[in-house]
Structure 1
């Protein structure tokens, strides 16, 4: 493999000069010169200032909010090396490429390096070549790296994907405990900063405690990603839904997540048979196959990838315009992280979850067979209970008729004041259906069942289903058996979910239904209503018009033609440089470029995302295309 540290294209001496660049002395100067941005995003500056003041920091910032800038800016301003601990090889590669492109000497150390490349990276690190080194957690404990760490000044240790250190996080990795052990070996304790995109309050507290952060500056930035459009649909045919969506969004880059390898293979073959540019990714493929599929997607050789949730961690591809979940994920943390891979450039993107009750069955099976050999029996039971609660949260998300964005934000501890008016539920027309009498009959059935059975048994009982299971447990002899015969079972599922939401029923261990506080229903004026939709009525058109107005559609027709030419040039350069197109310039930068039509270096540097180093490498070529287009249109 090519050693990315040499992509700087400078000699060791030249690289040292870059490390001590006199062009920037403040965070604002570094932001503009290195990355081409005029101002920081919300929360970034306060985290950076705290780190530069020598204080530990912990930040929870949603995907796309600019976490990397919060440690990269201090890293170039602090005197020594910054180590960034990450479990994600693809993220390291992307970040190092982007940093070297911006003029920041950086390298990574992980299992993808050959012994020769590893030794060369260590040699250059010992010489003080790098400002930032990305490293896999298990590499911290190797003898060669411990020797290096004692011979070079380490100003900061940054923990990326910090939720991985918490047993209560959705992606606990035992190897992250090596970070704590590593810091203890250092003669002088460096600043420690930690970052994650999704963490509940319990996980946040665990991260701070486990990492031993000392009086950290803490930022819990808003979890809201305003550019993402959330939608839950329940199509009768998911495959046809996906084909229709892709045909209406031709050319858009997207990810389709499936719960099983079999589903990945089926959807991949379907799309491929229709001539769609598509790749696939799951653990059943060889490492070589997975690497090729991933690179094809990142480098825009394929526009769509169908994958299990193993795909996407750390892939900093900014122009993903949609993420479709073919199956419901197992937790809100997983869903928000996976959906958050859309629209990282800040432009509008869609996050669509295709739900069917079978998804719950699939996920329960997967959770029942989850590997937990490393945990003691007591912890295994705790984890199982936690997983069951998280699955229930996702099920409610799929059934809720309230604002989807608010549902997500409330889960992560925020309290939005009003509906967003910009999600699938907010744009969908609902009909309110009074089901008070049916609710009482369902509650009577739960009472007769004595809290021993789950939703399906209760639904089948009140619906009067003739099954061997109901005969076996004696449910056919309940007074409530058949009292709601003929009622649509989907409505009954919605009704039960509403009863749980209102507290009349509660969900116990193993998803059994138990009575909650039913005193409110004794009031003659009490009512239970559910909202239903016309499944044929989709919010797609309304959403599409509204969302596009915020991105490419802000350009004039002439501007849009220029944008397409700039994209073509970007792809040409990406092929020459063997680099993902979005690392050259993001779509957002090209849109701003097409709108402003710069004709000189100062004007080009005024484009969002164009820094001095990138202008030096690519600026003139983009100015030539703009000037050529300007002459053509007069």
Structure 2
């Protein structure tokens, strides 16, 4: 294996290691932060010393700073490899806002734009150049970048290089060969948010990174609150939640296009500014919907997992999974899109037994049959997460290989104080009905029999003659269906996979029927408002929207919610005080300082 020092050619020319003080000065003057986050300084130190490095940080942990700051220290242009077109644009827009020359090369550029960008890049006109991995399939492109002065290659979403990862992309496998092709080999920084121990080992092996040059900050996101909700009406929960958090940005993920369309239509009927995104929509429509969400013109995005990779929107306050995703990597990456600015945010998973069948079907449709056993194993971990009664954050972190961790004290399992009610008799009614129906029907038919439906099928099968017919007629079929979901989640009923999901009584269920086990159910989870009202923050947010529209950039590119919250708290009216606001550097002061300080003065005058 080639050592990292062999590849770090520019550092021999510099003769001495660049002090971290210079990097800290850049962080302050350009990005407006007075100190590095956990792990950032170690990663930056490593690359400035010429060490190839793997950086594992959770979504929102600040990975981009680990290559953006060195790009302003090193001579030449840092190459950033990313599979995410939307992320490239967002990051380049954000860098332009703070006065850093950057560009991207991807399929959205015309031929003229491509050659124009490459001409400027060849002249050293950019500090950072973002490139899609597929671009390296072009020999002429590889030859062009070989003539440029490239001190570092940052490989974002590095888990895509591993066949053990949840999002393996063959184009990433070329990176090792491309790196070796340089006459003067750049230092390599691989970055990812979701990597199990096996994936981390594979990344290091593929990119020739020494394992002790791995910077891991821990997977915990201390500003996120996790919860799993089972056996409740999903539509009602989502409707109530979105209404109570009107004005806050959120993403609702669903496993299928059909579910996305249904949830989108339901929210649209209630007057919510909602967008949708899935692979069944045209490219133009998807881009328009994504732009509406990024520009805060739509507050809620309903989407399949086709949406979100590389979305740099920092002010997402909640992520709801309307259906269970297929693995923990996908779940944590998607949930982690909440609270990228560090403010408190919520991640809620609404579980139904049908989700397991849906995901097994989607895995079976996978083109690579060799990956199916591994995918089913990952799915089982996701199912276990939905049923655990221990700390949810701890469960996630343990999955990614961290041990000796404390309960988070924030998740729904850690803070659950709901009262428990005994429901043994009601459960026995359902179990008895399932047995009397021959254990060969699904949830809908069982609910219809229990509620005394005169449905044609119910009468054809003679189920109106059963002793369990109409036993729960005081409840509606939807409510009984939700109750059946609760019984399934407690493993008293099982679901047999097949073309139609058939429900049967488990061994634990038989113990309930014979009176050996009592069943208790907690009250429903109530929706709540995430953030407190703040009039000045709302005024500053409206001003940010106006300025963003004028500049043609997403509002979070102007200032993050965290910066606006800090601004509202400190109420700066001088340049010195404005620079003290978290996330304000010299470029942002010059561009926006005066107009925001005028808004604060106007607000203060109205209070007098």
Normalised to the residue count of structure 1, the TM-score between the two structures is 0.78
Q: Is residue 337 of structure 2 the alignment partner of residue 337 of structure 1? A: no
Q: Is residue 568 of structure 2 the alignment partner of residue 604 of structure 1? A: no
- The verdict on how the C-alpha distance between 1:467 and 1:591 changes in structure 2, with shifts beyond 3 A counting, is closer
Partner in structure 2 of residue 630 of structure 1 = 604
Q: Is residue 261 of structure 2 the alignment partner of residue 265 of structure 1? A: yes
SS at match of 2:64: helix
Q: Please state how far the C-alpha of 1:192 moved relative to its aligned partner.
A: 0.4
CA contact (8 A) 2:234 2:350 kept: yes
CA contact (8 A) 1:243 1:271 kept: yes
Q: Please state how far the C-alpha of 1:493 moved relative to its aligned partner.
A: 4.2
Q: Is residue 438 of structure 2 the alignment partner of residue 466 of structure 1? A: yes
Q: Distance in 2 between matches of 1:359 and 1:392?
A: 12
Partner in structure 2 of residue 399 of structure 1 = 387
SS at match of 1:313: coil
Specify which of 78, 94, 101 is matched with residue 98 of structure 1: 94
Partner in structure 2 of residue 421 of structure 1 = 409
Q: Distance in 2 between matches of 1:562 and 1:468?
A: 60
Matches within 5 A, 1:491-506: 493-494=488-489, 496=491
Partner in structure 2 of residue 533 of structure 1 = 522
- The verdict on how the C-alpha distance between 1:591 and 1:231 changes in structure 2, with shifts beyond 3 A counting, is same
Partner in structure 2 of residue 591 of structure 1 = 565
Partner in structure 2 of residue 5 of structure 1 = none
Q: Distance in 1 between matches of 2:246 and 2:386?
A: 27
Specify which of 169, 172, 183 is matched with residue 173 of structure 1: 169
Partner in structure 1 of residue 74 of structure 2 = 78
Task: Number of aligned residue pairs: give it.
Answer: 532
Q: Please state how far the C-alpha of 1:575 moved relative to its aligned partner.
A: 0.6
Matches within 5 A, 1:130-279: 130-214=126-210, 217-279=213-275
SS at match of 1:26: helix
CA contact (8 A) 1:109 1:118 kept: yes
Specify which of 527, 535, 550 is matched with residue 576 of structure 1: 550
Q: Please state how far the C-alpha of 1:397 moved relative to its aligned partner.
A: 1.3
CA contact (8 A) 2:229 2:350 kept: yes
- The verdict on how the C-alpha distance between 1:468 and 1:429 changes in structure 2, with shifts beyond 3 A counting, is closer
Q: Distance in 1 between matches of 2:161 and 2:519?
A: 41
Normalised to the residue count of structure 2, the TM-score between the two structures is 0.82
Partner in structure 1 of residue 539 of structure 2 = 565
CA contact (8 A) 1:88 1:313 kept: yes
> C-alpha deviations, 1:515-537, integer Å up to 9, x for none?
xxxxxxxxxxxx999874234xx
CA contact (8 A) 1:141 1:182 kept: no
Q: Distance in 2 between matches of 1:105 and 1:303?
A: 31
Q: Please state how far the C-alpha of 1:540 moved relative to its aligned partner.
A: 4.2
Partner in structure 2 of residue 63 of structure 1 = 59
**How well do the aligned residues superpose, as a CA RMSD in angstroms?**
3.2
SS at match of 1:295: helix
Q: Please state how far the C-alpha of 1:196 moved relative to its aligned partner.
A: 0.4
Specify which of 121, 124, 129 is matched with residue 125 of structure 2: 129
> C-alpha deviations, 1:234-261, integer Å up to 9, x for none?
2442112111111111111111111111
- The verdict on how the C-alpha distance between 1:532 and 1:146 changes in structure 2, with shifts beyond 3 A counting, is same
SS at match of 2:543: helix
CA contact (8 A) 1:55 1:191 kept: yes
> C-alpha deviations, 1:242-298, integer Å up to 9, x for none?
111111111111111111111111111111122110111011111000000000000
CA contact (8 A) 1:409 1:416 kept: no
Partner in structure 2 of residue 36 of structure 1 = 32
> C-alpha deviations, 1:569-628, integer Å up to 9, x for none?
111100100000000000110111111111111111111000101111111111111122
CA contact (8 A) 2:87 2:311 kept: yes
Matches within 5 A, 1:498-517: none
Q: Please state how far the C-alpha of 1:497 moved relative to its aligned partner.
A: 9.5
Partner in structure 2 of residue 390 of structure 1 = 378
SS at match of 1:67: coil
CA contact (8 A) 2:240 2:527 kept: no
Q: Please state how far the C-alpha of 1:427 moved relative to its aligned partner.
A: 2.2
Partner in structure 1 of residue 116 of structure 2 = 120
Q: Please state how far the C-alpha of 1:81 moved relative to its aligned partner.
A: 1.4
CA contact (8 A) 2:81 2:130 kept: yes
Matches within 5 A, 1:286-301: 286-301=282-297
- The verdict on how the C-alpha distance between 1:399 and 1:81 changes in structure 2, with shifts beyond 3 A counting, is same
CA contact (8 A) 2:275 2:301 kept: yes
CA contact (8 A) 2:230 2:485 kept: no
Q: Please state how far the C-alpha of 1:413 moved relative to its aligned partner.
A: 1.7
Partner in structure 2 of residue 51 of structure 1 = 47
